[in-house]
Amino acid sequence: MEAAFKNQWQLLNQSQPITFAPVIPVTMKQFNVPIIYRSPLITAVKNKRKAADKMKKDFTPTLLDFGNLHIYVARHFGFCYGVENAIDIAFKTIEENVGKRIFLLSEMIHNPQVNADLQDRGVQFLQDTHGNQLVPFENLTSDDVVIIPAFGTTLAIEEKLNAIGIQTAQYNTTCPFVEKVWNRSEQIAKKNYTVIVHGKPSHEETRATFSHAAANTPTVVVNNMKEAFALGKYISGEKNAAEFYTEFADRYSEGFDASRHFERIGVVNQTTMLASDTQAIADYLKQAMIDTHQLTENNLEERFAETRDTLCYATNDNQSAVYGLLETTAHLAIVVGGYNSSNTSHLVELCEKKLPTYYIDSADKIMSANQIVHFNFHTKQELITNDFLPNSSPIKILITSGASCPDVIVENVIEKLLSVTGASTSIEAVMELL
């Protein structure tokens, strides 16, 4: 079974996007996002596409023709609902609490510019992105303000802050779609399912989701398909349950019993993972349950909970838009976003399967027409590539960005590309044609 699923997983990652049918609010709330993050060009592009495609069924990119430079912009990219909500709350909190000490539990979102802007306004971080303490909780008082980031936080940290007298609910920017995963976990926990979280173990959102799920039911974190295959062997009994505690050290909840707690399972996710990976993991573990317990579609629910609706709509849209983007013939792709952004790294992962891809966090990383500084998220290192632009006319570049990247940064990248290539058409001229 494992070999068959490896082949299926590879096909999923090479084909069309996976649709998870996430639930979207009927009316999307409008947020007050500072104008410094807006872009006249990108706003015009998005408004044009929205007007022509209200149901979001067209994932083809938008061509910006600058003469000797053709830029293809993804159908969906940039700030999502949860990010705009977090930024709106954070900046309002600063305005409403003049003279008070304001802390962010950790990075607001995974974007260096936004986090730097908040720090410039006096906001301090209590922890880094890995959960290491920067300011001891003991230094806080009940008069301080603590903002919970969009990723959410653990129940243990909430309890610590509340014990000090800090009301975490008042300035909580947790994304509603993250909370939706928590709620789904609680629902299946009530039916005695063990929760399998597909996520990066060190990511803030995964730590928060694990905490909320583990408060209600046995919980395990699975990072990738390889770990899902390993988990399947404990479900089937192929591996001794005693080995589980070493192989999945620090990935399971207190009191987890590998000999009993795989009898009923459900899979939820860190909302920014690749949809195809989440589907493949869920399908593999479901098949493991079917084979182990000789289930049919009629009694599958006795052992496996269906949770396909927990993927974030923005993650799904952005990944689908990249599949559409990659249908265009181009010389290279540029993906813009914070280097510790999970959702951005997955867009890079999709692009680099098809063509040379450069992951940058600002326009400054484009040094010239001959040199770019970019991030290798596999090795966690910045690299310098020379002669990254082809000697062609027109040069064709695909561009997208992560859900925590301000549109203005994307426009800055486009402006820098126009500058280094000596593009023959201006942004203003292209905007008039939109």
Range of the domain at 95: 82-171
**Structural domain ending residue among the three candidates 261, 292, 311:** 311
H or E element at residue 269: strand 265-269
Res 254: pLDDT:
96
Res 13: pLDDT:
52
Strand ranges, E, within 74-152: 102-104, 124-125, 145-147
C-alpha–C-alpha distance, residues 350 and 333, integer Å:
11
**Structural domain ending residue among the three candidates 272, 295, 311:** 311
Res 2: pLDDT:
62
Residue 192 shares a structural domain with residue 295: yes
Query: Active-site positions?
Result: 205
Residue 140 shares a structural domain with residue 209: no
Q: What is the mean pLDDT of residues 206-226?
A: 97
Residues whose CB is less than 8 angstroms from the CB of residue 13 and which lie 6 or more positions away in sequence, other chains included: 274, 276, 277, 353
More confident residue, 347 or 306: 347
- Share of residues in the chain with pLDDT > 90 (%): 84
Residue 128 shares a structural domain with residue 38: no
Residue 299 shares a structural domain with residue 337: no
Residue 322 shares a structural domain with residue 423: yes
CA–centroid distance for 151 within its chain: 10
Residue 345 shares a structural domain with residue 263: no
Residue 190 shares a structural domain with residue 303: yes
Strand 395-401, strand 332-336: pairing: parallel
Res 297: pLDDT:
87
Residue 240 shares a structural domain with residue 261: yes
**Residue 96 pLDDT exceeds 90:** yes
Lowest mean pLDDT among 91-95, 167-171, 249-253: 167-171
Residue 230 shares a structural domain with residue 184: yes
17 within a domain of the structure (yes/no):
no
**Residue 85 pLDDT exceeds 90:** yes
C-alpha–C-alpha distance, residues 360 and 264, integer Å:
43
148 within a domain of the structure (yes/no):
yes
**Residue 137 pLDDT exceeds 60:** yes
With CA atoms as reference, report the closest residue to 344 among 55, 111, 7. 111
C-alpha–C-alpha distance, residues 206 and 187, integer Å:
18
Res 5: pLDDT:
52
Q: What is the mean pLDDT of residues 45-53?
A: 95
1 within a domain of the structure (yes/no):
no
pLDDT in tens, 246-258: 999 999 999 999 9
4 within a domain of the structure (yes/no):
no
Q: What is the mean pLDDT of residues 32-49?
A: 95
H or E element at residue 96: helix 81-96
**8 Å CB contact between 280 and 9:** yes
pLDDT in tens, 356-409: 999 999 999 999 999 999 999 999 999 999 999 999 999 999 999 999 999 999
383 within a domain of the structure (yes/no):
yes
Lowest mean pLDDT among 15-29, 30-44, 177-191, 229-243: 15-29
CATH code for the domain of 38: 3.40.1010.20
Q: What is the mean pLDDT of residues 164-188?
A: 93
**Structural domain ending residue among the three candidates 275, 294, 311:** 311
Residue 183 shares a structural domain with residue 298: yes
Res 26: pLDDT:
40
23 within a domain of the structure (yes/no):
no
40 within a domain of the structure (yes/no):
yes
Res 28: pLDDT:
61
- Share of residues in the chain with pLDDT > 70 (%): 93
Res 317: pLDDT:
92
Q: What is the DSSP string of 370-407?
A: TEEEEEETTTTEEEEEES-S-S-SSEEEEEEE-TTS-H
HSE (side-chain half, CA atoms, 13 Å) at 328: 25
Residue 226 shares a structural domain with residue 101: no
How many structural domains compose the chain?
Answer: 3
Binned at pLDDT 50, 70 and 90, residue 11 comes out as: very low
**Residue 22 pLDDT exceeds 80:** no
Prediction pTM value: 0.89
**Residue 20 pLDDT exceeds 60:** no
H or E element at residue 346: helix 342-351
Q: What is the mean pLDDT of residues 200-229?
A: 96
CATH code for the domain of 94: 3.40.50.11270
**Residue 142 pLDDT exceeds 50:** yes
Q: What is the mean pLDDT of residues 59-85?
A: 96
Residue 75 shares a structural domain with residue 150: no
12 within a domain of the structure (yes/no):
no
pLDDT in tens, 278-305: 889 999 999 999 999 999 989 999 999 9
